[in-house]
Structure 1
Amino acid sequence: MVNIDGRLSRKRPADGRAITPALLSDGLMILDGFWIVLSALATKFVLYFELATSDAPSTRHLAVALITSALTLIIFRRRRLYEIDEIVEPTGRIREVLQGFISAVALTLALGFLLKVSDSFSRIWLVTWVSICGLGLLLIHSLSAGLLNRIDSRGMLARRIVIYGVSGRTVELLRRLSLAPSKYSVLGIFDDVSPGNAPCAVNGGLEDLVRLCRSQPVDEIILSLSTLEEERFKAVLERLSELPIAVRFCPPFSNIAEYAKGFVRHQGITLIEVFDPPLRAWDLVIKRTEDIVIGALALILFSIPLSLAAIAIKLESRGPAFFRQERQGFNGQRIRVWKLRTMKVVETGASIVQATKYDPRITRVGKFLRKTSLDELPQLLNVLRGEMSLVGPRPYAINHDEAFKDHLPSFIKRYKIKPGMTGWAQVNGLRGEISSEGDLRTRLEYDLFYLEHWSIWFDLKVLGLTPLYGFVNRNAY
């Protein structure tokens, strides 16, 4: 991680807040669904001691519990009972919780009556389960309301906001956000052309804002410009597009809103959506889980080939079997990636010469390792450390990144997510030396397509294609 003064820190950069309102909301929903099913089966077991058997009645009770659970969650969501503002109500909207659950039970009973299966269930079980389950839901929502009130009152869920631009709208925006200090935390106000008699304190310019966003977590950047000079606005957007942070635009006049594609509202102020981070909330949790589980299994699976490769390297030439090179990681932070040595020299400095065909620096063992991409396998350690991901844009040497950005400024957008061991570009045959701007542009298009269309299924597709198309390629040397 790069500190605000530009020094390299050994602390791993965070790619998002561990606890977000979306995760808490979804967590409560999952807890409700789990409790409804668990209470149904537990009541059946206690009353009849039949849960351990595989008889049909137990299966029917499970089906009823799942249907009731699904209906309850649908009703709760329609009544906005999983929105943080509603959960933190003093009573957690207890009456709404009870009414929603009873409505779900009534719909389940009506369905059972229509299908003529209601006689298959004990009335004692039904009354006992509904009573226990209803009380449990009330308790869950009451405790959740108390817990989230404490978290909210300490500002732990506050959106961390940075504002760029000083205008009359900025003052009004600050006033509105200050009305809810537990929900919004303004980290700074920045502007490059603010007037001398600015109505609020300015903490620096655009580059200062970018440094702040790279040195600490920021949830949202709000653009509040007094005028819309095309060139300046375009330059600001180009710079902010490099950050994995949501960017909103607070229009200086209201009628611009009708041309926007999306809006968000903060305390009655309408903001136009400009950029969103590629991965948010559960996306980050799912992708990190994927990296840990598959990465750990892959490290175990490839431990013997890695050991044999390391021995072969040591036998062929002097020098370390493993070494680390500095790369650019998530949000432009510096990371050090592990590699197997494939050359007679170890290049880890600021200037690394890209390998070419018939490169005399490459050893015989190294040629095989590079051809099959086995030299990249130690990066599984970077994946488990959270510095890289299994799937994502491939990282390049720092000096290569700088040169690529000079030819194609939008190249830096690749780092809005963690770099990957393999990627969509690699399984489409784009490996090895970048010999032209057209080649660079094509790789960037594949990487940005991955960012825009990410899903767990997309990741699994890339991982599945990697042994077929990503490991061996005639352009890899």
Structure 2
Amino acid sequence: MELQSKGVVKPHSSLFALLARVVDCALVITGVVITAFLSLESLPQAYLIAALGAVICLQFSAEFAEIYRSWRSETMWAEAKQVTFCWLASFVFILAIGSITNLGESLFAWPQFSLWFIITLALLLGWRVSARVLLQKLRDNGYNTRSVAIVGSGELALEVAHRLQKCTWGGYVIRGFYDDRQNPSSEPLEPNQTCRSDSGAKNCPLAGDFSDLISEARAGKIDQVYLTIPMRGEERIQWIIKRLATSATSVYIIPDVFMFDLLHARTVNLNGIPAIGIVGEPNRGTMSMLKRMEDIVLALIILALISGPMLLIAAAVKLTSKGPIFFRQTRYGLDGRPFKMWKFRSMTVCEDNTAEIKQAQKNDTRITKLGGFLRRTSLDELPQFLNVLEGTMSIVGPRPHAVAHNELYREQISGYMLRHKIKPGITGWAQVNGARGETDTLDKMERRVEFDLQYIRNWSVAWDLKIIFMTVFKGFTGKNAY
């Protein structure tokens, strides 16, 4: 079965990028016009000046975010986040200028400015969704597709094929696997039929060897080639790239990063040199600001609700045993930096020896009667909302351990210190799954770390809210909490 890649956008990619810019500019102005007629039933000249300023700001921010690049291999959600960020940055800047200069009169008064922001954002996202739906229909009918060849037939090749198949909106048609270390199968894969990486298979039937790949690329039958040869096969890789240079085929190298324990892996540009971050930074940039806003808002609300109970607990701690009301212990926080964590005192001692700390155990004589109740119900943790407000902790995240425990387990558990790639939390995914309390065996700590890394890899605001909801109903108590 012969494939024919019916490109529509690629030959005119520059024209489509220009068209996208024009559409965005027009929609920003349209947003102002709609806002004006909804609020004033007229269009003041100052509104058009404000719209022109917003257009210029949007184009500047678009250059940094590269929103006019090809989004074929990325999700609508990824594109929507970038577009939203660009429009938000542009809007905030023009709003500040307009508020200072009184430009646009009521355009920068409530609720007109919020109406303009929402209407314009809806228009900017709406046309992109419509364009994706149209392209999806075209690609489903064989138009604007990309014929893909995968060099290699091992597990990495299977994973690449699986990822391309999951990218249903991209219009990728997998022509086959090509390798010189195996004989081509007598029954090669049909177009877009692949082995699944999760099926347990170690390799796939081949569509041909390297000579077949070069011939088909030169004949224009292949648009993109993905090289999945191990990095030790440098000579083979160079040989293929040199010969593919005689065609117009795009060539991509896929390094086998799956051999590593990936944590928010991403590519970075080191002044023109591409690099792959195996261990990335989950909450940086806009995601960091989003999580910080979430923490501040929720912490203020929760502290307002629990201020009364906290005063009662503080009085009870002071009246029932000698010592301070609060206990501050050194823990490791973001990036492994030490900080002081607040708790209600629950023991007769206030140990903060970073060299060695004895974990609380069942029937521990150091725990006061009130302290036992506070620890079982996690009420001793309430002062940590103060840590959240000061920025050393988050409401949701991996629970911070004593420094001595960190020094012990960092050598025994692979990936243990990766827990510190985000701020520690008052509650976390491990805690709502029962992994809390004393860790008297290595298995218990490994289980906790596994939950923590799962949370870090898949963090979202929705997941934070889910964990908080689960904490309210089952996360405060547990059979291992004492």
Q: Normalization by structure 1: what TM-score? A: 0.50
1:339 is displaced (CA, Å) by 0.5
Match of 1:383 in 2: 388
The reply on whether 1:335 has 2:339 as its aligned counterpart is yes
Letter in structure 1 aligned against 2:283: L
Match among 310, 327, 332 for residue 323 of structure 1 = 327
Deviations 1:413-471, CA, capped at 9 Å, x for gaps? 10000000000000001111001111111111000000000000110000000012210
Deviations 1:154-203, CA, capped at 9 Å, x for gaps? xxxxxxxxxxxxxxxxxxxxxxxxxxxxxxxxxxxxxxxxxxxxxxxxxx
Match among 437, 442, 450 for residue 442 of structure 2 = 437
The reply on whether 1:41 has 2:46 as its aligned counterpart is no
Equivalent-residue separation in structure 1 for 2:343 and 2:64 (angstroms): 45
The reply on whether 1:402 has 2:407 as its aligned counterpart is yes
Map 1:51-450 to 2 at 5 A.
82-84=62-64, 255=237, 258-260=253-255, 263-266=267-270, 268-350=272-354, 351-450=356-455
Unaligned runs of 5+ in 2: 1-22, 44-50, 68-115, 121-230, 239-251, 258-265
1:346 is displaced (CA, Å) by 1.3
Deviations 1:264-308, CA, capped at 9 Å, x for gaps? 555553334433211232211110001000011111111111111
Local SS of the residue matching 1:368: helix
1:377 is displaced (CA, Å) by 0.6
Say if 1:338 and 1:379, in contact at 8 Å, map to a contact too.
Answer: yes
Local SS of the residue matching 2:314: helix
Letter in structure 1 aligned against 2:63: E
Unaligned runs of 5+ in 1: 1-28, 50-68, 88-132, 138-249
Map 1:449-468 to 2 at 5 A.
449-468=454-473
Greater shift, 313-322 or 417-426, is seen at 313-322
Say if 1:324 and 1:339, in contact at 8 Å, map to a contact too.
Answer: yes
Equivalent-residue separation in structure 2 for 1:32 and 1:428 (angstroms): 50
Using CA pairs under 8 Å that are at least 6 residues apart, name the structure with larger relative contact order, 1 or 2: 1
Equivalent-residue separation in structure 2 for 1:30 and 1:289 (angstroms): 29
Letter in structure 1 aligned against 2:325: A
Equivalent-residue separation in structure 2 for 1:357 and 1:404 (angstroms): 22
Equivalent-residue separation in structure 1 for 2:385 and 2:476 (angstroms): 15
Letter in structure 2 aligned against 1:346: C
Change (3 A) 1:268 1:338: closer
Equivalent-residue separation in structure 2 for 1:252 and 1:36 (angstroms): 55
Letter in structure 2 aligned against 1:258: I
Change (3 A) 1:41 1:373: same
Match of 2:7 in 1: none
Equivalent-residue separation in structure 2 for 1:31 and 1:357 (angstroms): 66
The root-mean-square deviation of aligned C-alpha atoms, in Å, is 3.6
Deviations 1:225-270, CA, capped at 9 Å, x for gaps? xxxxxxxxxxxxxxxxxxxxxxxxx999794972326755555533
Equivalent-residue separation in structure 2 for 1:445 and 1:329 (angstroms): 18
1:361 is displaced (CA, Å) by 0.7
Local SS of the residue matching 1:426: helix
Equivalent-residue separation in structure 2 for 1:30 and 1:340 (angstroms): 54
Change (3 A) 1:30 1:301: farther
Match among 465, 476, 481 for residue 476 of structure 1 = 481
Say if 1:342 and 1:365, in contact at 8 Å, map to a contact too.
Answer: yes
Say if 2:36 and 2:42, in contact at 8 Å, map to a contact too.
Answer: no
Local SS of the residue matching 2:41: helix
1:401 is displaced (CA, Å) by 1.1
Change (3 A) 1:85 1:354: closer
Match of 1:191 in 2: none
Equivalent-residue separation in structure 2 for 1:361 and 1:31 (angstroms): 68
Equivalent-residue separation in structure 2 for 1:396 and 1:273 (angstroms): 27
Equivalent-residue separation in structure 2 for 1:375 and 1:439 (angstroms): 22
Equivalent-residue separation in structure 1 for 2:269 and 2:328 (angstroms): 46
1:83 is displaced (CA, Å) by 2.3
Deviations 1:91-119, CA, capped at 9 Å, x for gaps? xxxxxxxxxxxxxxxxxxxxxxxxxxxxx
Local SS of the residue matching 2:477: coil
Say if 1:80 and 1:86, in contact at 8 Å, map to a contact too.
Answer: no
Local SS of the residue matching 2:287: helix
Local SS of the residue matching 1:394: coil
Change (3 A) 1:332 1:46: same
Equivalent-residue separation in structure 1 for 2:458 and 2:450 (angstroms): 12
Match of 2:189 in 1: none
Identity of aligned residues (%): 41
Equivalent-residue separation in structure 1 for 2:306 and 2:439 (angstroms): 29
1:400 is displaced (CA, Å) by 1.2
Q: Normalization by structure 2: what TM-score? A: 0.50
Local SS of the residue matching 1:302: helix
Change (3 A) 1:315 1:289: same
Equivalent-residue separation in structure 2 for 1:85 and 1:425 (angstroms): 35
